[in-house]
Amino acid sequence: MGNNKQKIIEYFNKVATIRDKFIRRNRDYYRDLVSFFNYNIPAGSKVLEIGCGTGYLLEALQLKNAWGIDISEEMIVHAKKKHPQFTFRVEDIENCTLDEKFDVIILSDTVGYFADIQKAFANIRQLCHCNTRIIITYQSFFWGPFLRIAEVLKLKMTHPRLNWLNKNDIHNLLKLEGYSLIKDGRRFLFPKFFPLLSCLCNKYLVHLPFFNLFGLTGYSIARPNLPDETLNGISIVIPARNEKGNIEKALLQMPQFDVPFEIIFIEGNSTDNTYEEIERVYEAYKDKFELQYAKQDGKGKGDAVRKGFGMARYEVLMILDADLTVGPEELPKFYNAIASGCGEYINGSRLVYPMEKEAMRFLNIMGNKFFSKMFSWLLGQRLKDTLCGTKVLSKRNWQQVSQNRSYFGNFDPFGDFDIIFGSAKLNLQIVEIPIRYKARDYGDTNISRFRHGWLLLKMVFFAMNKIKFV
């Protein structure tokens, strides 16, 4: 093992001076890598690249706080000379001495060179906090024969013999060392530029079933299984429009939690005296519950949720619909999921347990199942019920979702897809909690099946270009 690592060090020391030449020769491949990492690294992140070479990728990403480590002294010499604004060190991740925490850790075409991949993943964990993302890219072995031909033709830099592992091997090793896989996939189908054909293959076809099997670049995004110790309490936001008969019930059915919690009613221009009922309930129960309330500023549930989250005093943010079709007694399951570190965006699923009669009409059920399939494909994570109103995430992640809203635009009156798309963009781990969906006892639904269904369909096509075809 030691001799092989020394050969790898000697090899990279030898090719350090020509590394950037081959990057330029294969600029389409590296341009796609840069695009992929740009999409997946939030602005302002502290980033570490393991196996940074001459620092090309860090420079191309235009990062503000970037570190690079490599086992090759010559690579680091060139990196420091070319990119003095970054921190570069000669380090072997299998015997790492770094004492830093990073928001994002990149391993781009690197795992194949490790002598002990499991040990490397174990050491990487020491560089993580609970919100760190590990982004791994590697080249598909389907392309092995073609890449060897490219090496013979001097189109690609030769390299020592690599570890023979596929995505399942990587996922297994990540699991062994305490990581959870968030998403994986393949991209980049046509490695050389050809007008129109390159765009068709690399932006669209490679993301579709069957074609995706032949992508050159494989990727995996993971997170360490670490609980978020900043979660000091719960803020439960209840948007309420024409829900007068459910306001007091929401409090009476509210369970106790092991941490402090507050309830925030946001009233949405009701015509049935809902706001007056909230005021009455506040006065009657303010000594028993920690309560806040307000009128929303704009229209739509999304606006109400944003108002409530802005008022929240605690770090766990929950949404509970005032129609109480999802009972408040379900909420401890959601808190336990986020507090234990099992997930970061917790979504309710009404499509597991049998529903009460009239709880959801047939067309609504069919629509939910259709959007479930579409959004699971779009997000790269399983999401069975996109329209369940019960959702939970941390205040920190919500703030990042809000900061990134300009990427998608403020187009979602419901608020559901604002959170879903934003969470997917941040690579938050999505976990679904099956809940029992009940028929409402008071009032009528605020959802129009056909008008809102058409809006949701437009959101799907909009999201394709913002999430999938990037």
- What average pLDDT score do residues 453-465 get? 77
Question: Looking at the 3D structure of the chain, how many domains does it have?
Answer: 2
Rounded to whole angstroms, how far apart are CA atoms 295 and 301?
Answer: 12
- What average pLDDT score do residues 162-169 get? 84
| Positive/negative CA dihedral, 116, 187, 376, 226 | positive
Q: In this structure, is residue 265 part of a structural domain? A: yes
Is the same domain home to 289 and 259?
yes
Share of the chain above pLDDT 70, in %: 92
Is the CB of residue 215 less than 8 Å from the CB of residue 142?
no
Is the same domain home to 248 and 181?
no
Q: What is the dihedral of CA 385, 386, 392, 393, to 10 degrees?
A: 130
Is the same domain home to 183 and 72?
yes
**Other CB atoms within 10 A of residue 21 CB:** 10
Angle between helices 73-82 and 2-15 (to 10 degrees): 40
The reported pLDDT for the residue numbered 156 is 81
- What average pLDDT score do residues 127-143 get? 94
pLDDT above 70 for 450: no
Residue range 191-213, pLDDT digits in tens = 888 889 999 999 999 999 999 99
Residue range 4-38, pLDDT digits in tens = 889 899 999 999 999 999 899 899 999 999 999 99
Q: In this structure, is residue 387 part of a structural domain? A: yes
Residue range 380-423, pLDDT digits in tens = 898 888 878 899 999 999 999 998 887 877 766 677 788 998 99
pLDDT above 70 for 318: yes
Residue type, 87: T
Is the CB of residue 49 less than 8 Å from the CB of residue 83?
no
Rounded to whole angstroms, how far apart are CA atoms 88 and 80?
Answer: 6
Is the same domain home to 215 and 246?
no
Q: In this structure, is residue 229 part of a structural domain? A: no
Contacts of 275 (CB under 8 A, 6+ apart): 267, 295
The reported pLDDT for the residue numbered 157 is 79
The reported pLDDT for the residue numbered 408 is 78
Among 206-220, 252-266, 446-460, the least confident range: 446-460
Is the same domain home to 181 and 251?
no
- What average pLDDT score do residues 306-312 get? 96
Is the same domain home to 298 and 361?
yes
Is the same domain home to 131 and 268?
no
Q: Which residue has the tokens 């766990």?
A: 316
The reported pLDDT for the residue numbered 145 is 85
- What average pLDDT score do residues 281-305 get? 94
The reported pLDDT for the residue numbered 153 is 83
Read off the pLDDT band of 452 (50, 70, 90): low
Is the same domain home to 37 and 108?
yes
Is the same domain home to 357 and 256?
yes
- What average pLDDT score do residues 437-444 get? 68
Q: In this structure, is residue 41 part of a structural domain? A: yes
Please name the residue ranges forming H helices in 263-415: 274-285, 301-311, 331-339, 362-379, 395-403, 405-408
Q: In this structure, is residue 176 part of a structural domain? A: yes
Q: In this structure, is residue 318 part of a structural domain? A: yes
Share of the chain above pLDDT 90, in %: 67
Q: In this structure, is residue 438 part of a structural domain? A: yes
CATH code at position 50: 3.40.50.150
Single residue among 178, 205, 224 that ends a domain in this structure = 224
What is the value of pTM for the model shown?
0.90
Q: In this structure, is residue 339 part of a structural domain? A: yes
Residue range 42-88, pLDDT digits in tens = 999 999 999 999 999 999 999 999 999 999 999 999 999 999 999 99
Q: Which residue has the tokens 């070319």?
A: 82
Residue range 335-381, pLDDT digits in tens = 999 999 999 999 998 877 666 655 555 666 666 677 778 888 888 89
**Other CB atoms within 10 A of residue 352 CB:** 15
Is the same domain home to 249 and 334?
yes
Residue 153 or residue 30, greater confidence? 30
Residue 168 or residue 152, greater confidence? 168
Is the same domain home to 367 and 402?
yes
Single residue among 224, 253, 269 that ends a domain in this structure = 224
- Looking at the DSSP bridge assignments, the partners of residue 219 are 137, 185
Is the same domain home to 162 and 287?
no
- What average pLDDT score do residues 457-468 get? 81
- What average pLDDT score do residues 249-254 get? 96
Residue 67 or residue 144, greater confidence? 67
Q: Which domain holds residue 441?
A: 234-468
Pull the structure tokens for residue 403.
């900061």
Single residue among 224, 254, 282 that ends a domain in this structure = 224
CATH code at position 315: 3.90.550.10
